[in-house]
Amino acid sequence: MRIIPAIDIIEGKCVRLTKGDYNTTKIYNENPLEVAKQFEDAGMEYLHMVDLEGAKADHVVNYRVLEQVASKTNLKIDFGGGLKSDNDIITAFNSGAKQITGGSIAVKNRAVFETWIQKYGFQKIILGADCNNQKIAISGWLEESSLEVIPFIKDYQKQGIRYVVCTDISKDGMLEGPSIELYKNIIKQCSNSSYGQSVKLIASGGVTTIEDIEKLKDIGCEGVIIGKALYENRITLKQLERFI
């Protein structure tokens, strides 16, 4: 299972939110590159970067941070937040992203998102399936849609999606453990061969302890995104060595 530390960006700074609430913004470091280098020095290969301003603004804002981290580390970055147009995705890839995560656009503009899947392929396009009460949330989690998370994922499986990041918003930043049952359900229901290959599920939100990571590995998650637990030293980079 891949260990994927997270860097969320507002005004070029490394921050974390609680349950996606922008009013809970806490700055952990004013230099995201410094944080990224710490992850790389600890043996990390991957990084999940989210442009939180972009998610609200409906276009990529903090691409310079992506560019800096991508050019000065060897981390394989998946980038999300504000990807709403062909120009946005070109900006993300030109700035050094190895993969992009599309969430809101997969709901609001299916036609564009489907062309991205066809053009760039499933290795580069991740479906963002963030949910609250199992309903897909969009626009930096400020809006809740009527779409149920599992049918939403299955629908995009048919379009060729393989990688899925799922955050249970109610767990995000709470340091109370991840939604194991939700992820079990997704893995079970989205492994049906009639929808193509099984999804590679990346769990996000609520990861607090090494035991949480063990559980996610045991149920078959392909990756796990770790944010606040790292910044609050609930999980240390040293503890993660055995997973790398």
Active site residues: 8, 130
Report residue 28 as tokens: 């952990």
Backbone dihedral region of 110: left (phi > 0), alpha (psi from -120 to 50 degrees) or beta?
A: alpha
Write the DSSP symbol of residue 231. Answer: H
Q: What whole-number distance in Å separates Cα of residue 235 and Cα of residue 61?
A: 30
Q: What whole-number distance in Å separates Cα of residue 196 and Cα of residue 212?
A: 29
DSSP 143-206: EEEEEEHHHHHHHHHHTT--EEEEEBTTTTTT-S---HHHHHHHHHHT--GGGSSPPEEEEES-
